[in-house]
């Protein structure tokens, strides 16, 4: 208990950063992922190809490697100037680029659950591709997409811990500070693990109940 109480500011700071990373990257990857999914079903072949290549490559790259690139290699290119919080910025970019490939697949499988008849009907009414997608398909897809999307977001939340290995002060980085101060690292990490359980388990339960309730409908 002392480990937690003596270092409450470190734990608090770590978790604020975790939640910040999670929220920023979460919103960005939802946007980018949806755009990618729209590209993958679009009538323009080159967009479809780009979406497919992006998803295939990114899904098969270890996230640690993506972090590695943005933490060490990307600064060498000098595209962005000196940033005060460069590592935080890099972590957001890495998590967003990585997770949006998974979001894209979830959205696309959601689009697949919308009955063809509805799409044909909307086309018969003269709606364009964009109108069909935005007013008929995506709103309905959202329903079947929420449960798997929650598990993608849980994965994103857990993945924020990798940022700790790349100098971002979030929950995973608590280890460094504790071992420097000579506290028991095991106990510290058990507290971190407990916090993650508190964050993740309710999300999983929500997802399970949504899945049960919504998969019966239609």
Partner 1 sequence: MSASALFDLPGPKARMRYRLYAVLGTLLIVGVIAFVIYKFLDAGQFDGKLWEWIEYEKIQTDLVAALGKTLTAFAVSAVLSLLFGAVFAAGRLSDHAIFRVPSMVIVELFRAIPAVIMMFMFHYGLKFGDPFNSVVAALSLYNGSVLAEVFRAGILSLPRGQSEAAYAVGMRKTQVMVLVLLPQALRAMLPAIISQLVVVLKDTALGFLITYEELLYYARNLGGVAQFGRPLIPVTIVVAAMYITMCLLMAWLANYLAKRERKSKKHLDTGDDDGPLPNKPVLMDSTASTM
Residue 201: is it exposed, middle or buried by C-beta count within 10 angstroms (0-12/13-18/19+)?
exposed
- Site size with partner 1, rule: CB under 8 A: 84
Residue number, 23 or 193, with CB nearest to partner 1: 193
CB 196 within 8 A of CB 171: yes
- By CB under 8 A, name the one of 31, 83, 190, 206 that touches partner 1: 190
Told to check if 113 binds partner 1 by CB under 8 A, we report yes
Told to check if 129 binds partner 1 by CB under 8 A, we report yes
Told to check if 135 binds partner 1 by CB under 8 A, we report no
Told to check if 8 binds partner 1 by CB under 8 A, we report no
CB 156 to partner 1: min, Å = 8
- By CB under 8 A, name the one of 4, 19, 155, 177 that touches partner 1: 155
Told to check if 41 binds partner 1 by CB under 8 A, we report yes
What mask, x for binding partner 1 by CB under 8 A, covers residues 64 to 93? xx--xx--xx--xxxx--------------
CA dist 15 → 19, 90, 115, 168, 169 (Å): 6, 18, 42, 12, 9
What is the rounded CA–CA span in Å between residue 188 and residue 149?
31
CB 98 within 8 A of CB 48: no
CB 61 to partner 1: min, Å = 6
Phi, psi of 135 (to 5 degrees): -105, -25
- By CB under 8 A, name the one of 100, 144, 168, 169 that touches partner 1: 144
What is the rounded CA–CA span in Å between residue 112 and residue 175?
44
CB 68 to partner 1: min, Å = 6
CA dist 115 → 2, 57, 99, 127, 208 (Å): 57, 30, 27, 16, 24
Residue number, 17 or 207, with CB nearest to partner 1: 207
Structure tokens belonging to residue 59:
């899904």
CB 54 to partner 1: min, Å = 10
What mask, x for binding partner 1 by CB under 8 A, covers residues 48 to 67? x-x-----xx-xxxxxxx--
């Amino acid at each position: 208990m002392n480990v937690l109480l003596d270092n409450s500011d470190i734990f608090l700071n770590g978790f604020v950063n975790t939640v910040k990373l999670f929220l920023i990257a979460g919103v960005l990857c939802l946007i980018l992922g949806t755009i990618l999914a729209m590209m993958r079903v679009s009538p323009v072949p080159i967009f479809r190809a780009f979406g497919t290549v992006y998803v295939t490559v990114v899904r098969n790259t270890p996230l640690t490697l993506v972090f590695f690139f943005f933490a060490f290699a990307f600064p060498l290119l000098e595209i962005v100037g000196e940033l005060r919080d460069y590592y935080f910025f890099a972590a957001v970019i890495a998590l967003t680029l990585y997770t949006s490939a998974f979001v894209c697949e979830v959205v696309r499988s959601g689009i697949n659950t919308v009955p063809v008849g509805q799409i044909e009907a909307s086309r018969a009414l003269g709606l364009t591709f964009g109108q069909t997608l935005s007013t008929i398909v995506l709103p309905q897809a959202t329903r079947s997409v929420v449960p798997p999307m929650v598990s993608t977001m849980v994965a994103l939340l857990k993945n924020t811990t990798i940022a700790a290995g790349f100098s971002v002060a979030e929950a995973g980085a608590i280890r460094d500070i504790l071992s420097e101060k000579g506290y028991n690292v095991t106990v510290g990490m058990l507290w971190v693990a407990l916090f993650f359980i508190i964050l993740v388990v309710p999300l999983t339960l929500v997802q399970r109940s949504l899945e049960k309730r919504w998969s019966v409908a239609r």
